[in-house]
Amino acid sequence: RCYILSNENGKIQLSLRQSRLNPKSNSKVEDVEITCIKDVKKGQLVRGYVKSITPSGVFFGLSTSLLGRILFQNVSPYFVQKHSLYEKYLPEGKLLTAKVLGVNGKEKHIELSLLPEDTRMPSVLPESLGLPRYDAEEEKREANDREKREELKLKTKRRRGNSERRSTGIRLRNYTEEEKKIKLHWRLANCCPPPSTHFSLLQEAKPKKRKICPADENDSGIEVYYREEEDDDQKEEAAKKKSKIRKPGEAPRLQVSMGFTWDEDMNAMDIPVLNQKEESSESEEEEDPQSKLKKQTKKEKELEKQKKEKELCKLEAALMDPSRQPQSADDFDRLVLSSPNSSILWLQYMAFHLQATEIEKARAVAERALKTICFREEQEKLNVWVALLNLENMYGTEETLMKVFERAVQYNEPLKVFQHLCDIYANSEKYKQAEELYHTMLKRFRQEKSVWLKYASFLLKQGQTEATHRLLERALKALPTKEHVDVISRFAQMEFRFGDPEHAKALFESTLNSYPKRTDIWSIYMDIMIKHGSQKEVRDIFERVIHLSLAPKKMKFFFKRYLDYEKKFGTTESVLAVKRAALEYVETKSSLADT
């Protein structure tokens, strides 16, 4: 008993679900029926069957109309180099439990996982295989990162210890208004000494000459003589002291809108220093949250690097797989670099571009192949030339085809190129161009037997038997006499296949009458008549042959063939008749030998 889901185009889909067979029963449904993509939700555990395994992942059937994909990294926690291992442990039709990782309703894509931590089921690949885990490399990297962090902590502690030994503490100093003015002028002219008018005041102040640093730019009466430590308590104390020192009654600092120089010969300072100092003092308060954000971005960068390294590892593993088919131009470039003289790879590369209708790129690949393949590999180069001729015939014009044809004739044997172009015309049903090319070939290669035979085959396939008969007469006049028997027999064979069998028999009979001791023609005639003729005609040919005066070895061959034919198609009487004829031949030969 079953439930019929659909009956379309002679295909019936059935269901054995109890919920369909007995809709009134209140039994719990173990696997909820999935009819559309809306029934699937992220994080849901579903059961289904393995449909197929492809280079892009495992395809998982959730219903008759819905398929999900499982990436190889989500199939098992182990790294597998050969995908044939998946085919062994994940045969087609195997029932498994998977977890839904993501659902794309627009594109109707469902990403699934078979990992044990997702499904709470054992891994599909057993641990006994000894395969490496995906997370083994991550653990190594984390351990290395921890070691580096500990080393950095130790270095910072040592530096702090050294700085504490050298430091003399923080010394607060309140400047007078005169000293502040002197210090202002000194900062503005840090590249040259001050004028003599302020020399006495500077001697009284005696500020230490040191490079301007961020601490000097925000000078508020505090001088720091040691390297600041990242201590929150000290920062708070310093901030309180700054607020105490800055009194509301103090005069504001002098602001200079233009660049200030002590000497006309000196280069002008382009940036107003005081404005920069004010901006830096204001931005110092906002540095702490920005530095925290920077620290967060560093962590994110590290995570991104780790993700990229994982992706690279997966790509390298996929590239090392020998059964992997090339899927991009880069893959083909790697293949042709590894074996540059293989015309098959170059032709596949061209076909890859033609599938994407990138005709110019396919032409470029062909030209690159002709330059790359070694000049000794003549057949490999000829294969590329033929592919280029096919490309121009299908996607180019007559002019581009003729240009490629002329180049191919220059770099290859002309006869082979002509014959290939004739085949291309015939296969693409350009019979007029093919016939014109055959005429040029008959003029240029009159002494070549293959040209006459190829043209005869072309005419017979077109149904032009009379033209074929005239062509045979022309061929016998053009070719040397030693080729006549072979040409006639080849024409007769083609007549049997595509033309008039009676005319073919007449050709064979006339040839055998003229050359009765040509056993090769007799053998060909027998084979063709066994396939296309009647048993009576075949037996007549055998009887004629066994009564010829040929060498004993050749006669033995024909008697054996005659006996095999009678055993297969004849009767016991016909078999005995052949044996008696053979005995008579042997007796006559022995009597002649005795005399």
Q: Which H, E and C letters describe 181-236, residue by residue? A: HHHHHHHHCCCCCCCHHHHHHHHHHCCCCCCCCHHHHCCCCEEECCCCCCCHHHHH
For residues 578 and 576, give the distance between their C-alpha atoms in angstroms, rounded to a whole number.
5
For residues 442 and 435, give the distance between their C-alpha atoms in angstroms, rounded to a whole number.
11
Nearest to 287 by CA among 218, 226, 211: 218
Residue 544: C-alpha distances to residues 395, 509, 548, 557 (Å): 57, 12, 7, 14
Q: Per the confidence metrics, is the pTM higher than 0.75?
A: no
Q: What is the DSSP letter of 595?
A: -
Residue 93 tokens read as 């039709």
For residues 517 and 551, give the distance between their C-alpha atoms in angstroms, rounded to a whole number.
10
What's residue 57's pLDDT? 87
For residues 326 and 338, give the distance between their C-alpha atoms in angstroms, rounded to a whole number.
13
Full DSSP string of 234-252: HHHHHHHHHHHHS-TTSPP
Beta strand pairing call for 45-54 and 95-104: antiparallel
Return the amino acid letter for 369: A
Residue 289 tokens read as 């949250």
Residues making up the chain, counted from first to last: 595
For residues 194 and 209, give the distance between their C-alpha atoms in angstroms, rounded to a whole number.
13
Q: Could you tell me if 8 and 28 are in contact, meaning their C-beta atoms sit under 8 angstroms apart?
A: no
For residues 195 and 188, give the distance between their C-alpha atoms in angstroms, rounded to a whole number.
12
Nearest to 127 by CA among 112, 116, 143, 138: 116
For residues 135 and 84, give the distance between their C-alpha atoms in angstroms, rounded to a whole number.
22
Sequence-distant contacts of 264-273: CB under 8 A, at least 24 apart: 266/191, 266/192, 273/187, 273/188
pLDDT per residue as tens, the chain (595 positions): 787 877 777 778 787 777 777 777 766 667 777 878 888 888 888 888 898 888 888 888 888 778 888 988 888 888 787 777 888 888 888 888 899 998 887 777 889 998 888 888 888 888 777 777 766 556 666 777 888 888 888 888 777 766 655 544 444 444 455 555 555 554 554 544 444 444 443 344 444 444 444 444 444 444 444 444 444 555 555 554 444 444 444 455 555 444 444 444 444 444 444 344 444 444 444 444 444 445 568 778 888 888 888 888 877 776 666 666 777 888 888 888 888 999 999 999 999 999 888 899 999 999 999 999 998 999 999 999 999 999 999 999 999 999 999 999 999 999 999 999 999 999 999 999 999 999 999 999 989 999 999 999 999 998 898 999 999 999 999 999 899 999 999 999 999 888 888 899 999 999 998 888 899 999 999 999 998 888 899 999 999 998 888 888 989 999 999 999 999 988 899 999 999 999 988 888 887 776 6
For residues 498 and 81, give the distance between their C-alpha atoms in angstroms, rounded to a whole number.
53
Q: Which helix (H) or strand (E) holds 526?
A: helix 519-532
Q: Would you give the end-to-end CA distance of the chain in angstroms?
A: 91
Beta strands in 256-372 (DSSP E): none
Specify the residue for token string 């005429």. 439
Cβ burial, residue 278 (10 Å; 0-12/13-18/19+): middle
For residues 451 and 366, give the distance between their C-alpha atoms in angstroms, rounded to a whole number.
28
For residues 547 and 545, give the distance between their C-alpha atoms in angstroms, rounded to a whole number.
5
Across-strand partners of 104? 109
For residues 131 and 77, give the distance between their C-alpha atoms in angstroms, rounded to a whole number.
9
Residues 6+ apart with CB under 8 A from 283: none
Residue 73: C-alpha distances to residues 45, 68, 85 (Å): 18, 15, 14
Specify the residue for token string 């592919």. 387
What's residue 260's pLDDT? 45
Q: Could you tell me if 501 and 532 are in contact, meaning their C-beta atoms sit under 8 angstroms apart?
A: yes
Specify the residue for token string 């020192």. 245
For residues 27 and 355, give the distance between their C-alpha atoms in angstroms, rounded to a whole number.
53
Residue 47 tokens read as 């059961």
